[in-house]
Amino acid sequence: MRRQLGILAIVLVNCLSLGAQAPKRIAIRTGKLIDVRSDAPISNALILIEGSKIVSITAGGAPPAGTELIDLSHATVLPGFTDAHTHILLQGDVTEQDYDDQLLKQSIPYRAILAARNARIALDHGFTSLRDLETEGAMYADVDVKMAIQRGEVPGARIFASTRAMAPTGTYPLMGFSWELSLPHGVQVVDGVENARLAVRDQIAHGADWIKYYSDHGYFFTPDGVLHSHVNFTDEEARAIVEETHRLGHHVAAHSIGSDGIAASLRAGVDSIEHGDGFTDELLDKAVKQGAYWCPTITVGAYVAPGRGGNWAPMVEAERKAFGKGLRKGVKIVFGTDVGGFPWTELNQAREFKYYVEYGMTPLEAIRTATSTAAEMLGWSDKIGTVEPGKLADLVAVSGDPLADIGELERVRFVMKEGVVYKNEFK
């Protein structure tokens, strides 16, 4: 012990004599830079990074002496992406059996190991931030994975966690088992206004950045083509969740697929509508008026529809129409895939960009959903979402031109998060 103290003293003296260590300086020479602020890419920019932040962007020029140079002069550089609807603790659930097996046959530590791997996969695909929308029965394990990444113990995307999510009794799996069994739940089961407030406090106390609740279930079409659903919470309960969350300085995301669920979420004043397949003109107008964000998660719908059958394929089609209308009305659309609903290892979540362009966005508009708009929704506009001085150095690069071929974003070859390079295939 004494010897260790001696070593510690020497280390401290060395540190003091050296003064505070100067932050690492890196310069990136870009071919094209899509900074997301301007409508056109900038050619031959030089991005100077100190420590975790961007300090300057200049047209060409030589990097200052003593700066490490990364040559991306044959690449297009963009801000790191945000996927605003993920489940790092889930590995695909096309069928009920897929879901039940994960909750019944996998321990939470095992699931957390896969979650850390998934956060690494996301980073590798260029997603430097994830808003992870509930652990599906894995309690608060998202907060553990978030902390391990934050502390540099494992590489991965930055996580905005929402822990357990909420739904009332009898509306969310596991369901359909013998009443004699005591089983885990995919959410925190919440009934009544006081319990709703308590659940919000509990989840925030355990590290939730966002609160998520399930607004509806049981989706069905009426002959007029409108997608309906059964609403889960009473208005009083939903309002209690939202009010308590806002009072504590956090935000609420609500799973809302059918028009009834979307209407209930908007009445409660949620910050983001998740999925939103059943959006009608009237509800889109209301979302615009209230400034609510819409996270469409098209990739998961398209992926699970063939395996689930029933209404799922028509729901994808309904969402395509709603998306076009929402775009024209100016709803704030945020990139979200629901990855975890489809396996992390099978499909690159950047596939979602292609749907947005197919559904009517320009490539730059699609890029903004995963960068500047996502940052705005997270309240992180001063830190991420664009490439500009003062922001965190979250950068990705691709070989081709994503403004000509949005599919290029599925082939990210360089990833930097907070000034640290995690992937560079341009060497």
What pairs with residue 76 in β-bridges?
32, 398
Query: Is the CB of 233 or the CB of 414 nearer to Zn ion?
Result: 233
Interaction mask 309-348, Zn ion, x per CB under 5 A = -----------------------------x----------
Angle between helices 259-268 and 281-290 (to 10 degrees): 20
Q: Does 352 bind Zn ion (CB under 5 A)?
A: no
Closest approach of Zn ion to the CB of residue 337, in Å: 9
Query: Is the CB of 35 or the CB of 134 nearer to Zn ion?
Result: 134
Q: How many residues does the chain have?
A: 427
Query: Is the CB of 26 or the CB of 208 nearer to Zn ion?
Result: 208
Query: Is the CB of 356 or the CB of 414 nearer to Zn ion?
Result: 356
Q: Does 209 bind Zn ion (CB under 5 A)?
A: no
Which residue is nearest to Zn ion, using beta carbons?
338
Rg (CA), the chain: 23
Q: Does 35 bind Zn ion (CB under 5 A)?
A: no
Query: Is the CB of 244 or the CB of 338 nearer to Zn ion?
Result: 338
Q: How far is CA 283 from the centre of its chain?
A: 24
Query: Is the CB of 144 or the CB of 338 nearer to Zn ion?
Result: 338
Sign of CA dihedral 114, 117, 123, 128: positive
Burial 248-272 (b: 16+ CB within 10 A, else e): eebbbbbbbbbbbbbbbbbbbbbbb
CA 202 to CA 211: how far, in whole Å? 11
DSSP 205-234: HTT-SEEEEE-EEEEEE-TTS-EEEEE-S-
Residues in 45-84 at the binding interface with Zn ion, rule: CB under 5 A: none
Closest approach of Zn ion to the CB of residue 375, in Å: 21
Closest approach of Zn ion to the CB of residue 85, in Å: 6
Give 69's contacts (C-beta < 8 A, 6+ positions apart): 26, 27, 28, 29, 63
Closest approach of Zn ion to the CB of residue 216, in Å: 13
Task: Tell me, by CB under 5 A, how many residues bind Zn ion.
Answer: 1
Phi, psi of 344 (to 5 degrees): -60, -30
Query: Is the CB of 193 or the CB of 300 nearer to Zn ion?
Result: 300
Angle between helices 259-268 and 235-247 (to 10 degrees): 50
Query: Is the CB of 232 or the CB of 386 nearer to Zn ion?
Result: 232
What pairs with residue 30 in β-bridges?
72
Closest approach of Zn ion to the CB of residue 166, in Å: 14
Joined tokens for residue 87:
């489940």
| List of residues contacting Zn ion (CB under 5 A) | 338
